Amino acid sequence: MRISLLLAITILTTSAHAANWPQFRGTDASGTGAGKPPLQFSPKTNLVWSADLPAGHSSPVIWDKRIFLTGVDAGKLVTLALDRASGKVLWKKTAPAEKLEAAHRISNPAAPTACTDGERVIVYFGSYGLLAYDFTGKELWRHPLPQPIVEFGAGSSPILVGDFVIQLCDSDMDSFLVAVDKRTGKEAWKTARPSHRRGFSTPFVWRHDGIEEIIVNGSLKVSSYDPKDGSLRWTCRGMARVANASPTAGDGLLFVASWNIGGDASDRLTVPPHAEFLAQHDKNKDGSFTKDEFPAGPFKDRFTQFDLDKNGLVNKAEYEGMADQFVQAENAIFAIKPGGRGDITSTHVVWKHNRGLPYVASPIYHQGRVYTVRSGGMATCCDAKTGEVIYRDERLGALGDYYASLAAAEGNVFAISQKGTVTVFSGSSAPEVMARNEMGETVMSTPAIVDGRIYVRTEKHLMCFGK
């Protein structure tokens, strides 16, 4: 009788946990949903409801009867709660930001996704910092943070680890990882990341062997931190200059992908020695460079990345630091085994590939395989344990860039292009496209899949699809 009762409680607890999508990429940031969502859906097919939304790139977060999102409404940063059954906006709260941060031309100051533990919802805006609300919209606490020193704005989402809210703040100067108490908003610890520049990846909690590690995909390397105090456990070199995709895990391994321009062997940008470049381009002979003094092409295109402090000048230290970035940068996807300490580059990498890499869309582990999608709608699939390539750069038939991270359910993978095409595919030896669904609007956000329904945020709407 007691065993039956315990089993029933376990089943109920598991079901309740699976019915939520509490952070970026859902439960355990796996990207894997519960139930069997429809394969075919559009604004005219299998649409349960559609809600108008202010502009924003944050992904939907779901807990019980609530959906949480952020946006920019009439020039103000807002947090919204929607009714899960109808899409009706239940409340909207404005963040106390004095000025909106700059953002990439295709990004938005409301890009990071919220997180929740079922009692409070926490949001992060690069323009302000962290804010917490209860489920009625009452503000619980606020924790201001400095705006990231990068012209593209913030992209990393907050996550919950035990009683801590973890926020990554990587930028061209003064990068750090911070933990605040989820109940009070008071800082618990803060770890500087002086060797890291701009980055937009969300940290990942790797749970294995009875421990937890905070995994951060950053510039040139991936790092592991102790959630208790923020101390560094290990690093693995071989990442791109700028990290966008978030890590994931499965089959006892950690998977990290990183791609950026200049990291492929065939596409490396060679930066001339400083003295040589100075002699050729320092027109006013002041020992530094303005943007006008940079030659047209890849150097001028990256002037703001050379200019770390954003004062409009590139000095010798900034120039040589960027040159070193290009030398060390590498585009790759890694599988890493647990148990590392220190520099594990040569000891804990189980397999590694340098092709079929995503730019922004995070990879997904699903049913023993690791999937990636890159611009042009090119899908790659590897065996998770061995790294054996099952297929590489196979066309999904939906062109364009891919910013939404991959999601999966019931053996199917969901890939969404910026143009708004949701491709559903599976297949054992090649991607078998089950459906291509047109949303009719741009999509930059990652979908949520809960209880057989899929929630897709488009440029102007949040749409709920189900049978």
User: What would the mean pLDDT of 304-332 be, rounded to a whole number?
Assistant: 93
298 shares its domain with 439 = no
pLDDT in tens, 265-307: 777 778 899 999 999 999 999 999 999 999 998 889 999 999 9
What's the CA gap between 178 and 176, in Å, rounded?
A: 6
Q: Are 331 and 263 in contact (CB under 8 A)?
A: yes
pLDDT in tens, 36-88: 999 999 999 999 999 999 999 999 999 999 999 999 999 999 999 999 999 99
| Token pair 């951060």 in the structure block, residue | 216
What is the domain range of residue 284?
A: 266-327
Q: Of the residues 327, 350, 380, which one is the last residue of a structural domain? A: 327
289 shares its domain with 195 = no
- The answer to whether residue 11 is domain-embedded is no
- The answer to whether residue 85 is domain-embedded is yes
196 shares its domain with 320 = no
- The answer to whether residue 13 is domain-embedded is no
296 shares its domain with 226 = no
CATH number of the domain enclosing 166: 2.130.10.10
> What number of other Cβ atoms are within 10 A of residue 347's Cβ?
14
Domain count, the chain: 2
63: amino acid identity, one letter: W
Instruction: Give the residue among 139, 176, 138, 182 at the shortest CA–CA distance from 159.
Output: 182
pLDDT > 70 in the chain, percent:
96
350 shares its domain with 451 = yes
Give first-to-last CA distance, the chain, whole Å.
Answer: 38
